[in-house]
Amino acid sequence: MSNGTLQNGPVVPGKAFDRFIQIWFENTDFAVANSSSVFQQLATQGILLNNFVAVTHPSEPNYAAVVGGDFWGMGDDNLHYIPSNMSTIVDLLDTKNISWGSYQESMPYDGYQLYNYTEPNYLNQSAPPYTYYVRKHNPLVLYDSVANVPARNMRNRNFNDFAVDVSNNTLPQWMFITPNLVNDGHDTNVDFIGNFINYWLIPLLSNPNFNTNRTLILITFDENDTYTDRNQIWSLLMGGIVPASAYGTVDNTFYSHYSCLSSVEANWELGSLGRQDTNKTMSNVFDLLISQYGLNYTNLDVTNPPATNLTGNIPGPLNAQYWVPFVAPNTAAVGAGGGPVFVGAGTDMSLTAANAPAPVNLTALGETLPDSTPASSVQTTMPTATGTTTSGAPSLRVAGAGVLALAAGALLLL
């Protein structure tokens, strides 16, 4: 179904680009993507980022990280709800009235919040229904600060509405695009991705309603496929702002998914999230913005990058084996945009990374993560904070509202 076209405010000019489009594919090693004739052809129209890494494994934490500046210790693809006072790029964009939107292929309708969606198999009509859409690949819906605000949540749109917005020239300035599970390569392979690119993306590149002379497009992957490798992912900058003289070139700067945040912050002189988007090692700004557009920022020469192929052993509020509560952002941090750190309403500023308690093994204590449900518990109606279900919207979850006490090795949530 279509929900009509987006309504956006006036275009807010950036230093290098006025529109940023991220298109994510799935679970492919750099060498595999780089050997594809389709990806090789794409590379002749842009700048190959030869030293770009995902930030962890598996998929979902990478999606959470690219909009929220952290993956919160998550080491699985379960159903998670990130509390409403944990901020995202949306909060930063909204401070300057920069329009944004997410487009999710095969999501049944705009604002859909359930764990997945199964529909008739359009590839094989004699086969059983197929799950083409999964919530874990929709980064903004993971955050209650978006999902629980109807006006924001309805900007999580499907591909029918993408077509409407392209036709009406109402695409937003910041976009995150996720193809479905076959077109993103999750359930298929790089050749299937290549067919999708040829069919869907290539025509759009010459459509001025999509790719203007002030557009930057990032083609990338959520993670690599070989977990023992360093998690290098094939990534390409293309679009109208890339000069023809840079076509087919290679940028060896060390980047990660957090660079998508810092580059946007720098382009529009935004504030920051006070998370990994301000970690100088992990958030180098795309050099194109510095070398071609004079952006006043100095990247860090990362000669010994940290490991980013770890899974499940990073403490955080979404890790049941190494649980720590959500903590306040680092308000002393300075991001690439130079603005202040955004602090969500209701954040307990007294609970910081510096004074957070030691990690607790909730699994050993027989406890479950607050605000999370195992992936096997596929929801047919919206879950509430207590785990019961309702046909309405989920209740608002705010981290730091309770008191954490650790006594005699037991965890008490009061």
Which pLDDT tens digits describe the chain residue by residue (414 residues)? 567 899 999 999 999 999 999 999 999 999 999 999 999 999 999 999 999 999 999 999 999 999 999 999 999 999 999 999 999 999 999 999 999 999 999 999 999 999 999 999 999 999 999 999 999 999 999 999 999 999 999 999 999 999 999 999 999 999 999 999 999 999 999 999 999 999 999 999 999 999 999 999 999 999 999 999 999 999 999 999 999 999 999 999 999 999 999 999 999 999 999 999 999 999 999 999 999 999 999 999 999 999 999 999 999 999 999 999 999 999 999 999 999 999 999 999 999 999 999 999 999 999 989 867 665 433 333 333 333 333 333 334 455 433 233 322 332 222
pLDDT score at 370: 82
| Residue 182: C-alpha distances to residues 105, 163, 193 (Å) | 10, 19, 8
Positions of E strands within 51-115: 52-53, 79-80, 100-104
Three-state SS for 185? coil
Closest CA to 284 of 295, 299, 304: 299
For residue 86, what are the β-bridge partners?
Answer: none
Three-state SS for 103? strand
Burial 76-91 (b: 16+ CB within 10 A, else e): bbbbbbbbbbbbbbbb
Look up residue 34 and give its two tokens.
């780089």
Domains and CATH numbers, the chain: 19-413 (3.40.720)
Three-state SS for 94? helix
Closest CA to 268 of 341, 173, 343: 173
Reported as type and span, the H/E element at residue 158 is strand 156-158
Q: Please give the Cα distance from 234 to 54 (Å, whole number).
A: 10
Contact (Cβ atoms closer than 8 angstroms) between residue 91 and residue 344: yes
**Is 187 a residue of the active site?**
yes
pLDDT score at 4: 84
Q: Pick the catalytic residue from 70, 77, 161, 187.
A: 187
